[in-house]
Amino acid sequence: MNSKLKDRVLVVGKSGSGKTYFAKNLKKRGYWIICLDLIIQKNVMPIFEKRKKEELNDNIWSLFKLFDYKDTRKIIEEARDVFVRSVRKEMLGKRRVAVEGCLMNHQLIMDIFGDIDSFTVCFVYPKSKEVYLERIMNRFVRFPKQLGYLSFLKREGATEALDDYFKNGLLGEKISEFLTNIVQIEYTKISTEFLPFYISRYEVVIVNS
């Protein structure tokens, strides 16, 4: 692990890349860990629970759209403000902090950290496509009805693949092919879309996990 990390670290990577595991290693080095998904679930969602039916079509998980500044709905902007203030409050008074989550919006990152030179980005990269596939499968098995809470699994063929899984488990031909094909696409995106976004803007340390 790089010994020259700054006291403020942003741990990023695609879902299933190994961010949480790496964050646990940082915790052993004295970093206070802030999980962005937990901030949303514990600090943001409860506040807007009563308004979800009318403003979010009864889908509280839509609050994750606060990562997208193009979404200018009032409730999303309010949620974004609560989110940023909650993260910054968690950071106060901590000497070393690691913020862990799939943040891919420059404005939101700046709202949290303030100064582009104040933090290091640790980009967590799965060691291989096979390792990534195994992690995605493990996460899918934990929450199959929710497709592992992996947004990139919500695509054409998901319903048929899910039916196949409940009949045949991961040995089913359709679910196996579905997950393998998507992981191939998403693994390629790591190097073609995700990593270039961070390298072009920040000080980046690549972590193979």
Instruction: Examine the fold and report which residue of 44, 67, 95 is the final residue of a domain before the chain moves on.
Output: 95
- Which structural domain, as residue segments, surrounds residue 81? 32-95
φ, ψ at 35 (rounded to 5°): -90, 120
Q: Above pLDDT 90, what percent of the chain?
A: 68
Helix %, strand %, coil % for the chain, to 5?
60, 10, 30
**Same domain membership, residue 209 and residue 190:** yes
Phi and psi at 123, nearest 5°, equal -95, 115
State whether residue 17 is helix, strand or coil. coil
Q: Are 11 and 122 in contact (CB under 8 A)?
A: yes
Number of folded domains that form the chain: 2
Same domain? For 113 and 151 the reply is yes
Give the other-Cβ count within 10 Å of 205's Cβ: 17
Residue 31 has pLDDT above 70, yes or no: yes
| Amino acid at position 110, single letter | M
Predicted TM-score of the model (pTM): 0.88
What whole-number distance in Å separates Cα of residue 102 and Cα of residue 203? 17
Within this chain, do residues 124 and 198 fall inside the same structural domain, yes or no?
yes
Asked if residue 111 and residue 178 are part of one domain, the reply reads yes
- Structure token pair of residue 187: 């693994």
Per-residue pLDDT of 70-117, as tens digits, reads: 888 888 899 899 999 999 999 999 999 999 998 899 999 999 999 989
Amino acid identity for residue 135 in this structure: R
In a domain, 68, yes or no: yes
Buried b (16+ CB within 10 A) or exposed e, 163-186: ebbeeeeeebebbbebbeebbeeb
Is residue 200, in this structure, part of any structural domain at all? yes
Which conformational region is residue 31 in: left (phi greater than 0), alpha (psi within -120 to 50 degrees), or beta?
A: beta
* Per-residue pLDDT, 49: 80
Q: At residue 120, what is the residue type?
A: T
- What is the mean predicted confidence (pLDDT) over 8-12? 97
